[in-house]
Amino acid sequence: MVNELESFFSHNIKGMKRSAIREILKLTQRPEIISFAGGLPDPTLFPTTELAEVTAEVLKNEGTLALQYGTTEGDPLLRKLLVERYQKQGVNIQEKNLIITTASQQGLDLSAKIFINPNDTVICGLPSYLGALSAFVSYGANIEGVSLDEHGMRSDLLEAKILELREKGIHPKFIYTIPDFQNPTGISMPEWRRIEIIAIAEKYNIIILEDAPYREVRFAGIPQKTMLELDRSGRVIQLGTFSKVFVPGFRIGWVVANEEIIDKFVVAKQATDLCTPAFVQRISARFIEKGYLDKNIAVVTSAYKQKQEHFIKCLQEYMPKDVTWTTPDGGLFLFLTLPEYIDASEFFQTAIEQKVAFVPGTSFYCNGEGKNTMRLNFSFMNLEKNEEGIKRLAKAIALEITA
Ligand code: PMP
């Protein structure tokens, strides 16, 4: 046994807490509980047949390459195919602008590693993806929140926040944003709002970190240009991932940015894991080449469209009045708001007794707001389970409202 083990731990790790969501997920593993708490894609949609075919071919034809160490930048074929996908969408990037990461969570961690000194400031949406906040805090960042409206991060409040920080001599390192189907709210930014945010970032010379995991999980509305596309000054760093449109188990993502920034990602990643597994990268590349990725995106979006529509119908049917929710055009989540006097974290225990779970929204607010909100996932379970879960949740909320 090490004496005074606690004294050996770094300040960084002491400042890090277990994710509230992971703790909740543990609680919700019980089979009788219907859980809206996770953020998992529907596993019945994983393209196992196509993957079996492609995996066998990769092993047979290029196994020696695919099982070897790869370069830190990533599999050349996968990078080329991803760059071509961007170019087809009219985004003029080259391979030097893209590095493969071990999914986008590593993109978030490396971003913090590259830009954050202890006590640096980062601006995030209120609410925002908890995993990103944890990554930034683990490098000693202070998080400042800017509220959202139905169009995403409010640009007027963003500018006010930057000015407020300037008064204190603080210059934020970057603005973290999820413009498409934000986690946890499902809200998307229209193009005009993206342009406003970029203009502010330009005016005050701040980098934008655009996290885009749900970008291609759109089942309604019209695609809006990404921040990366709208950027004119090389200040947007975009994170992409296969987790929601292909398989999260492969842990493949990428970062797109100007060449100078990508060079820093290469150096930072080298020290972290040398390279993302070459095998899954090559399988993904051949999967794209065969047209299976586009097919899979169509399958996933149409299934989630059906689930979202059914979910909203059930909420309308079963939820007591005074409860409101977002209606996202894509992604995996929607955000529910209870009457102000109900604290969703306290209500969680009551919900568990009714055998239904969710993530209390306050976990996503860096300033402790959002007590009467919750995040619900609609992608993971089938329609029947979703309906039964909403019935249970509505019943539990109704008891709180009349109490
Ligand atoms: N960013 C956001 C906004 C997310 O919701 C998630 C996962 N839920 C991630 C990043 C991380 O995803 P992955 O590492 O699987 O790409």
Predicted local distance difference test score (pLDDT) of residue 25: 73
Select from 106, 181, 210, 241 the residue to mutate for testing ligand 1; criterion: most ligand atoms less than 8 Å from CB: 241
Is the N-terminal amide bond of 76 cis, ω within 30° of 0? no
Q: Element (H or E) spanning 240, and its range?
A: strand 236-241
Read off the pTM: 0.96
- Assess whether pLDDT exceeds 80 at residue 22: no
Q: Is the ipTM of this complex over 0.85?
A: yes
* Residue 317: pLDDT band with limits 50, 70, 90: very high
Per-residue pLDDT of 116-150, as tens digits, reads 999 999 999 999 999 999 999 999 999 999 999 99
Q: How far is CA 200 from CA 80, 120, 180, 376, in A?
A: 33, 19, 19, 32
- Establish if 201 belongs to a structural domain: yes
* DSSP string covering 10-69: -HHHHT----HHHHHHHHTTSTT-EE-------GGGS-HHHHHHHHHHHHHHHHHHHTS-
The answer, yes or no, to whether residue 19 has pLDDT greater than 90, is no
**Confidence check: pLDDT of 26 > 90:** no
Same domain membership, residue 347 and residue 276? no
Cβ(131) – ligand 1 distance below 6 Å: yes
Residue of 262, 357, 334 whose CA lies nearest to 20: 357
Instruction: Answer with the one of 251, 268, 292 that is the final residue of a domain.
Output: 292
Is residue 131 domain-shared with residue 258, that is, in the same domain? Answer: yes
- The finding on whether 105 has its CB within 6 A of some atom of ligand 1 is yes
Res. 54 pLDDT band, cuts 50 70 90: very high
Whether residue 190 sits in one domain with residue 239: yes
Q: Determine the residue of 19, 25, 104, 214 to mutate for testing ligand 1's pocket, defined as the one with the most ligand atoms within 8 A of the Cβ atom.
A: 104
362 lines ligand 1 (CB under 6 A): no
Whether residue 403 has pLDDT greater than 60: no
3-state secondary structure of 342: coil
Q: Are strands 34-35 and 356-357 parallel, antiparallel or unpaired?
A: parallel
Q: Among 129, 209, 251, 252, say which to mutate for ligand 1: greatest number of ligand atoms within 8 Å of CB.
A: 129
- The domain boundary, picked from 292, 321, 352, lies at 292
Write out the two tokens for 221.
Answer: 């509305």
How far does the centroid of ligand 1 lie from the alpha carbon of residue 357, in Å?
A: 21
Q: Is 129 in the pocket of ligand 1 (CB under 6 A)?
A: yes
- Under the banding of pLDDT at 50, 70 and 90, the label for residue 194 is very high
Q: What is the pLDDT of residue 288?
A: 98
- Give CA separation, 119 vs 137, 142, 164, 195, 338, in Å: 9, 6, 17, 29, 35
Q: Residue 283 pLDDT > 90, yes or no?
A: yes
Q: Are residues 105 and 183 in the same domain?
A: yes
Distance of CA 5 from the midpoint of ligand 1 (Å): 33
Q: List, for residues 230-264, the tens digit of each pLDDT value.
A: 999 999 999 999 999 999 999 999 999 999 999 99
Per the prediction, the chain carries an average pLDDT of 96
CATH number, domain of 29, equals 3.90.1150.10
Examine residue 383 and state whether it is found in any structural domain, yes or no.
Answer: yes
- Residue 4 is assigned to a structural domain of this protein: no
- The verdict on 192 and 204 lying in the same domain is yes
Residues 192 and 263 both lie in one domain: yes
* Averaged pLDDT, 187-191: 98
Residue 199 lies in a domain: yes
Q: How far is the CA of 108 from the centre of ligand 1 (A)?
A: 9
The answer to whether residue 58 sits within a structural domain is: no
The range of the structural domain enclosing residue 368 comes to: 9-47+295-402
Per the domain annotation, does 202 fall within a domain?
yes
What's the mean pLDDT in 262-289? 98
Do 43 and 143 fall within a single domain? no
pLDDT at 12: 83
Tell which residue, 330, 71, 69, has the closest CA to residue 189: 330
Residue 23's CB is within 10 A of a number of other CB atoms, namely 11
Domain count, the chain: 2
Please state the three-class secondary structure of 243-286 as a single string: CCCCCHHHCCEEEECCHHHHHHHHHHHHHHHCCCCHHHHHHHHH
Note whether 40 and 127 are same-domain residues.
no
Q: Report the nearest atom of ligand 1 relative to the CA of 129.
A: 3
Is the pLDDT at 198 greater than 90? The verdict is: yes
Q: Are 92 and 225 in contact (CB under 8 A)?
A: no
The verdict on residue 62 lying in a domain is: no
Shared domain for 151 and 249, answered yes or no, is yes
From the CB of 111, is ligand 1 less than 6 Å away? no
Comparing 8-22, 93-107, 301-315, 386-400, the range with the smallest average pLDDT is 8-22
- Both 206 and 192 in one domain: the answer is yes
**59-101 residue pLDDT tens:** 999 999 999 999 999 999 999 999 999 999 999 999 999 999 9
Mean pLDDT of 375-399: 97
Residue 59 maps to a domain? no
Which atom of ligand 1 lies nearest, measured to the CA of 182?
3
Same domain for 213 and 287, yes or no, is yes
73 in the same domain as 116 = yes
- Domain limit, last residue, from 292, 311, 333: 292
Between 24 and 223, residue with greater pLDDT: 223
Position 18 confidence tier, pLDDT thresholds 50, 70, 90 = confident
Residue 234 belongs to a domain with what CATH number? 3.40.640.10
Characterize the bridge pairing of strands 207-211 and 236-241: parallel
